[in-house]
């Protein structure tokens, strides 16, 4: 039998992939199918799911309730989309100069600079948000610094209420996901042959022209990969908005989480989750069709 296994390459491959397939099917495919089934059900008085086939949950998300049209959930979806878009744009603007700086640094320093980008990631997602509360709250570090600065000029100072607010949520999102943009952009910038810059300079291109015509196009794969790594988690998270928004900024993630905990309506929660997945898939497919799928995801 061992002899047979030795000769059968296809069987060897199947055996090697088998545990992965088992895991992916039971903890990814089956849960997704169950979510779809649950989303067509409804809840009973105790919060248990009754499995039927009703479109009520989806209609409710689209705003059609028995009491008339209500765009509450559409607003939540729109808010999540715009916040994810704003976060991604800000993150690209901040990540690009840093990635460029590291990619053009002397080789012996590059790993140290990269390491410095990763260290904040190794603290902890929740603790990092807590740190932002300490900075942004009314009696926090930022207001302390501003008050001190105002005092130097003899100006009166009234502390700002930075936290909780939707601005604080945006800052928190940018902070949490910035490293995921820096790394892929760095990877694609680092691959650019230095002689291309010299050629551009020899041909009379100035700094801005070189950036627009050489650097930017060649680093597009990195930006695409980074966008996928940032946009998707921002769409799905509920922790940042929950903590820094003081429960006022409700995103799809918060909506889903509350259906499973406070509201006890898993059917509606599952429908929201399916809509979230479809929405992110549509945006991702549209985006990657336009710009190509980033290979840099693998190297990030």
Partner 1 sequence: MSNRRSPLVIVSALLVYFFLYAPIVVLVVFAFNSSRTNIVFEGVVNQGPCGPFYWFCKLFDNNEVLNAAKNTLTIAFTSTVVSCIIGTMAALALQRYTFPVKTASEAALYIPIVIPEIVMGIGILVLFSALFTWINVTFGLTGDARFSLGLATVIVSHIAFSIPFVTLVVRARLHGFDKAVEEAAMDLGANEFVTFWRITLPIIFPGVLSGALLAFTLSLDDFIITFFTNGPGSTTLPIYVYGLLRRIITPEVNALSTVWILTVLIAVFISQRLESREV
Contacts to partner 1 from residues 72-101, by CB under 8 A: 94-95, 97-98, 100-101
Bridge partners for 69 per DSSP = 64
Is residue 66 classed as helix, strand or coil in its secondary structure?
Answer: coil
Preceding peptide of 164 cis, ω within 30°: yes
Task: Identify residues 39-78 at the interface with partner 1 (CB under 8 A).
Answer: none
Q: How far is the CB of 66 from partner 1 (least distance, A)?
A: 25
Considering the complex, state which of residue 64 and residue 137 has its C-beta at the smaller distance from partner 1: 137
The size of the interface with partner 1 (CB under 8 A), counted in residues, is 90
Neighbours of 133 (CB within 10 A): 17
Output 60 or 84, the one with its CB closest to partner 1. Answer: 84
Q: Can residue 19 be called a binding residue for partner 1 (CB under 8 A)? A: yes
Nearer to partner 1, 34 or 70 (CB): 34
**First vs last C-alpha separation in the chain:** 42
Strands 64-65 and 42-43 come out as: unpaired
Q: Is the peptide bond before 229 cis (omega within 30 degrees of 0)?
A: no
194 lies in the site for partner 1, by CB under 8 A? yes
Interface with partner 1, residue 188, by CB under 8 A: no
| Residues in 157-186 at the binding interface with partner 1, rule: CB under 8 A | 175, 178-179
Region near partner 1 per CB under 8 A, out of 17-25, 53-61, 158-166, 216-224: 17-25
Which residues are CB-contacts of 192 (< 8 A; sequence separation ≥ 6)? 103, 214, 215, 218, 219
* C-beta closer to partner 1: residue 64 or 279: 279
Q: Is 282 in the site for partner 1 (CB under 8 A)?
A: no
Structure tokens at 154: 């003899």
113-142: which residues touch partner 1 (CB under 8 A)?
Answer: 115-117, 119-128, 130-135, 137, 139-141
The rounded distance, in Å, linking the Cα atoms of 254 and 260 is 10
Minimum CB separation of residue 69 from partner 1 in Å reads 27
Minimum Å gap between C-beta 213 and partner 1 is 15
- For 79-116, the DSSP string reads HHHHHHHHHHHHHHHHHHHHHHHHHTS-HHHHHHHHHH
Contacts 24+ apart (CB under 8 A), 43-48: 43/264, 43/265, 43/266, 43/267, 43/268, 47/264, 47/265, 47/266
Min CB(39)–partner 1 separation in Å: 10
25 is a contact residue toward partner 1 (CB under 8 A) = yes
| Binding residues for partner 1 restricted to 220-239, rule: CB under 8 A | 228, 232-233, 235-239
């Amino acid at each position: 039998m061992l002899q047979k296994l030795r000769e059968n390459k296809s069987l060897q491959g199947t055996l090697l992939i088998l545990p992965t397939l088992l895991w992916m099917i039971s903890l990814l495919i089956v849960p997704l199918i169950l979510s779809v089934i649950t989303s067509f059900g409804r809840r009973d008085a105790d919060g248990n799911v009754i499995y039927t086939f009703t479109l009520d949950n989806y209609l409710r998300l689209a705003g059609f309730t028995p009491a008339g049209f209500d765009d509450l959930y559409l607003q939540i979806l729109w808010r999540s989309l715009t916040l994810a878009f704003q976060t991604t744009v800000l993150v690209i603007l901040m990540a690009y100069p840093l990635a460029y700086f590291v990619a053009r640094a002397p080789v012996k320093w590059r790993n140290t600079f990269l390491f410095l980008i990763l260290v904040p990631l190794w603290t902890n997602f929740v603790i990092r948000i807590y740190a932002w509360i300490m900075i942004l709250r009314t009696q926090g570090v930022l207001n302390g610094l501003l008050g001190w600065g105002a005092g130097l000029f003899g100006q009166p100072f009234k502390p700002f209420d930075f936290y909780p607010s939707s601005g604080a949520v945006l800052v928190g999102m940018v902070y949490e996901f910035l490293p995921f943009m820096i790394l892929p952009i760095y990877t694609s910038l680092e691959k650019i042959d230095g002689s291309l810059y010299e050629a551009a300079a020899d041909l009379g291109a100035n700094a801005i022209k070189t950036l627009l015509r050489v650097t930017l196009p060649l680093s597009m794969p990195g930006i695409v990969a980074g966008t996928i790594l940032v946009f998707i988690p921002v769409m799905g998270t509920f922790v940042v908005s929950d903590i820094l928004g003081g429960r006022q900024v409700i995103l799809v993630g918060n909506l889903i989480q509350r259906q499973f905990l406070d509201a006890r309506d898993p059917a509606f929660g599952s429908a929201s989750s399916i809509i979230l997945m479809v929405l992110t898939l549509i945006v991702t497919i549209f985006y990657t069709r336009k710009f190509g799928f980033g290979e840099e995801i693998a190297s990030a």
